Structure 1
Amino acid sequence: MFKKFLICLAVVFAFNTQAAEPAVDLKDPYKMVRKVSDNTFARITNNQPLIEKDKEYLRTIVEEELMPYIDYKYAALRVLGNHVSKVRAIEDKEEKAKAIKELQRFIDVFQKYLIATYAGVFTQYTNQSVEFAPAQPFKGQDVVVVKTKIVEPGKPDIKIDFKVREDRDGNWRAYDMIAEGISLLDAKQSEMQGILRQQGIEYVSDLLEQKSQLPVQFRGEGGDE
């Protein structure tokens, strides 16, 4: 399930083959999504010889072109769900400091895991195209849904909604994606809750770190989720 979401995310953030300018307007969620799409795919296109020689370079592209516009910290905490509330409720200072350190490690590992997974997904990009719904007024809102549709000849259209949130500095970044009505964060949270309860956050962080260190490749629906 998680892999399907990332495939869709990679397609949307890499759909345009036109030359891209580096500037990204973080003050407009709609312009941000479009510009990141342009910049990411332009970088991939221009570096194809290097990528063909070493797919690990895709990690660098993802880290530099895509991740600055993904609110992975907020997403990671959302994935942990009520575990974060439990940490906040801890009264013992030493115990709380230890728990906060574990949270920080999970956030760092979650970012690396996303980078590795996005890099693998980008190895599979072909000629899909994306249609964006018209931008809507967003003044006064702190969460905006950017609606898109992935179009590929001979296959059904895939409806994708990106949730983009405004931070305290007034900058917008994506934090969740809803594919055909299913939330990426909700799906990943459901997957992790049982492991968190049984094995703890350190085990989950170790698991994600191991996955993030695997060589860059697309592992399909039966592989790395």
Structure 2
Amino acid sequence: MNVRPLLIKFFLVTLSVLFACTVNASDVDTKDPYKMVEQVAAQTFARVAKEQNIIEKDKEHLRVIVEEELMPYIDYKYAAYRMLGSHIQKVRNIGNKEEKQKAIDDIKVFIDVFRNYLIATYAGVFTQYKDQMVEFGEASSFEGEHVAVVKTKIVEAGKPDIKIDFKVRRGKDDQWRAYDMIAEGISLLDAKQSELQGILRQQGIEHVIELLDKKSKLPIQFRGSDGNG
């Protein structure tokens, strides 16, 4: 079964959250993973709605919104490390000093490019913004935990509910940030990792960087209908 089109569909619907109020960035409670997800959803979609006139004229403006409203709450570095998987350990085991430094530099470039790719991906999804509604599950105790799962249910009239889990992680600064989304039991991060791991092994990290860099620089549009993302 080809899960990519399904993942893209789930991703699209999940990000189309109906906001209830406007939340200032300074008011986002990053010490509480459940409040953080709800508040970031509110402030991001409030701005998307407010600036529709600008977006209609220039979809590239969505990059600005994603950069300013969403990315501060995305643990893109951790997600990038997860994407690279065993490649990180291979770099740690390199004995040659110059070769190891080159490999470390490549990882730093990958992280930057991966961040830009995420911005482009999120911006592309926001072009399909609708007024779907989201119901958040009950918060659980996260005292002493480093990873929490925020359960949500996407509700749209005439369509089956879609269950979505947001995975958020507590950083060393005690702030919670999102790093993955599980749509109907399928991890988007794991799916993308599976897609890139073969390329990474066969053609190297520089080719993966080039691939993601090209995708991140494409004009903002929803790249999901044809299975490309």
| TM bracket, shorter-chain basis | over 0.9
Q: Which residue of 2 aligns with 1:4?
A: 9
TM-score (norm 2): 0.93
Q: Match for residue 182 of structure 1?
A: 186
Q: Give the counterpart letter for 2:18 in structure 1.
A: F
Aligned residues: 223
Change (3 A) 1:102 1:4: farther
| Percent identity over paired residues | 65
2:18 aligned to which of 15, 18, 21: 15
How do 1:155-174 residues align onto structure 2 when only pairs under 5 Å count? 155-174=159-178
Deviations 1:44-71 (A, max 9, x none): 1111111111110000000110011010
Aligned equivalents of 1:105, 1:9: Cα separation in 2 = 29
Q: Which residue of 2 aligns with 1:60?
A: 64
User: Judging changes above 3 Å, is the alpha-carbon distance between structure 1 residues 9 and 75 closer, same or farther for their aligned structure 2 residues?
Assistant: farther
The answer on whether the counterparts of 2:116 and 2:216 sit within 8 Å (CA) in structure 1 is yes
Q: CA deviation at 1:8?
A: 4.2
From 69, 73, 77, the counterpart of 2:77: 73
Q: Does residue 26 in structure 1 map to residue 30 in structure 2?
A: yes
1:179 offset after TM fit, Å? Answer: 0.7
Q: Identify which of 196, 201, 204 aligns with 1:200.
A: 204
**TM-score by structure 1 length?**
0.95
**Corresponding position of 1:115:** 119
Name stretches of at least 5 consecutive residues in structure 1 with no aligned partner: none
- Paired with 2:10 and 2:98, the residues of 1 have a C-alpha distance of 38
1:63 counterpart SS class: helix
The one-letter amino acid of 1:101's match is D
Selected match of 1:84 from 81, 88, 93: 88
Within the candidate set 100, 116, 123, 1:96 is matched to: 100
Q: For the Cα contact (< 8 Å) 2:117–2:216, is it kept in 1?
A: yes
User: Which sections of structure 2, spanning at least 5 residues, go unmatched?
Assistant: none
Matched, 1:215 2:219: yes
The worse-fitting range, judged by mean Cα deviation, of 86-95 and 58-67 is: 86-95
Supply the distance in 1 between the matched residues of 2:171 and 2:68 (Cα, whole angstroms).
20
Task: Work out the CA distance in 2 between the residues paired with 1:157 and 1:201.
Answer: 39
> Cα offset for 1:17?
4.4
Q: Which segments of structure 1 move beyond 3 Å, counting only runs of 4 or more?
A: none
